[in-house]
Structure 1
Amino acid sequence: MVDDREALHDGLRLTAAALAEAGIPHALVGGYAAWARGAPEPSHDADFAIREVDVDRAREVLSAAGLEITEPTENWLFKAYHGGELVDVLYRMVGEPIDDDLLARTDEIEVLAVRMPVLSATEIMTSKLRVVGEHYCDFSRLLPVARAMREQVDWVEVRRRVDDNPYARAFLFLLDELGVVDRAQMHDDAAPVGTRAGSSPASGDPSSHIE
């Protein structure tokens, strides 16, 4: 009998292979993208990103590959199941449409014996930090990811893109305090984390809660 983890792995492989065979630009994102880059393996679904223009075609090819397609109420993804395990196929992240520019910020990495485009560590970290806020702020899950990918991340770029979110700034400050990432790696101007004026919380768009 196929266990849940094996079914999820098979679903991830099938999704990557079907999208690639159909010539649909895509990238592994979220927790499994971080895992491909050395982070702990997540205990939940896998996530792929595609452009919205490719959604109908992606549904067709994944259904033909044997995955069960369902349409959630959210308007930023569809769901594909294999053996009861979930692969989310997103066409928006952090409330923004996925485009060619984002899909270009990837590396070809062998994941579960299949080579596929995997989102860059900088993009993974940025997307995770842009959504932390009052209602979603689990630093205990972010820390192992940051530790594992710290040498692959452009921390100056991450800080620049999350600097309007006080929760994200607090996490970057914590990384410095714990010695995970030195402040100098995060600040091209050597300014302390969290001292920027005019900062405001992130919007908390649910479309970015990919783990």
Structure 2
Amino acid sequence: AVAATLREAGLTVYTPPEDWLLKADCLGQQVDLIFELAHEPVTTALLDRARDLSVDSVLMPVLSPTDLLRGLLAAFSEHHCDFGAVLPIARTLREKIDWEALRRDCGDDPMPAAFFFILERLEIIPAAGPPATASKEGPR
């Protein structure tokens, strides 16, 4: 629907090999329209959490640090697991990331868990506490 709307507006739209974006030419500039992050749709809620920041003198919505790292971690797989590319991002943004929410969202996924372990060992983030358990007091 987006591609058709852009074409109706007179823009040239390209479908690149990546299945998570469209490209369009607008006033001589190529524009990337990203509609998925790690096979999850870009939602209104995700964009609502973005902050408008000036990037090269252009005001644009920028993902929250937590959402950015969530997308990067979700892209890890046993075939693509380049922690070295994501480590400097996590280190730079460590004070701005909601680590508790990120760990909760990643659940038991092995790749994010391995990444969190590396961050803990490098003392970039504190070790996660033990999982919360219900109190099981027996009869007295």
TM over 0.5: yes
| Alignment partner, residue 136 of structure 1 | 80
Note the alpha carbon deviations across 1:92-140, whole angstroms, 9 max, x for none.
Answer: 2222322211110101111001111101100000010012121110111
CA displacement, residues 46-93 of structure 1 (integer Å, 9 cap, x when unaligned): xxxxxxx54433456693xxxx631135543212469xx965312222
Quote the RMSD (CA, aligned, Å): 2.6
Separation in structure 1 between the aligned mates of residue 65 and residue 8 of structure 2, nearest angstrom: 30
Counterpart Cα distance in 1 of 2:7 and 2:81: 32
Q: Give the 3 Å change call, closer, same or farther, for CA 179–98 of structure 1 in structure 2.
A: same
C-alpha spacing 1:191/1:62, structure 2 compared with 1 (3 Å): farther
Which segment is superposed worse, 160-169 or 139-148? Answer: 160-169
Deviation for aligned residue 1:169: 0.4
Counterpart in 2 of 1:163?
Answer: 107
Whether the 8 Å CA contact 1:137–1:167 is kept in 2: the answer is yes
Q: Identity over aligned residues, as a percent?
A: 36
Give the aligned length.
Answer: 129
Larger radius of gyration: 2
Q: 2:52 aligns to what SS in structure 1?
A: strand
Distance change in 2, residues 1:62/1:162 (3 Å)? farther
Using CA pairs under 8 Å that are at least 6 residues apart, name the structure with larger relative contact order, 1 or 2.
Answer: 1
For residue 25 of structure 1, what is the aligned residue in structure 2? Answer: none
Q: Distance in 2 between matches of 1:103 and 1:86?
A: 21
Name the CA distance, whole Å, in 2 between partners of 1:94 and 1:145: 17
One-letter amino acid of the structure 1 residue matched with residue 121 of structure 2: E
Residues 1:172 and 2:116 are matched in the alignment: yes
Q: Given that residues 3 and 13 in structure 2 are in contact (C-alpha distance below 8 angstroms), is that contact kept between their aligned partners in structure 1?
A: no
* Structure 1 residues 123 and 60, CA gap change in structure 2 (3 angstroms): farther
Distance 1:175 1:81 in 2: 40
- The residue number in structure 1 matching 2:136 is none
Matched AA of 1:94: A
TM-score when scaled to structure 2? 0.78
| Secondary structure of 2:111 counterpart | helix
- CA distance in 2 between partners of 1:117 and 1:179 (Å): 31
C-alpha distance 112-168 of structure 1, shift in aligned 2 (>3 A): same
Show the counterpart of 1:125.
69
- Name the aligned partner's letter for residue 57 of structure 1: T
**Correspondent of 2:5 among 44, 47, 57:** 57
1: CA distance, partners of 2:81 / 2:53: 29
* 2:41 aligned to which of 97, 100, 107: 97
Secondary structure (helix, strand or coil) at the match of 1:150 reads: helix
Query: Which AA in structure 1 matches 2:130?
Result: A
Matching residue's letter, 2:114: A
SS across alignment from 1:151:
helix
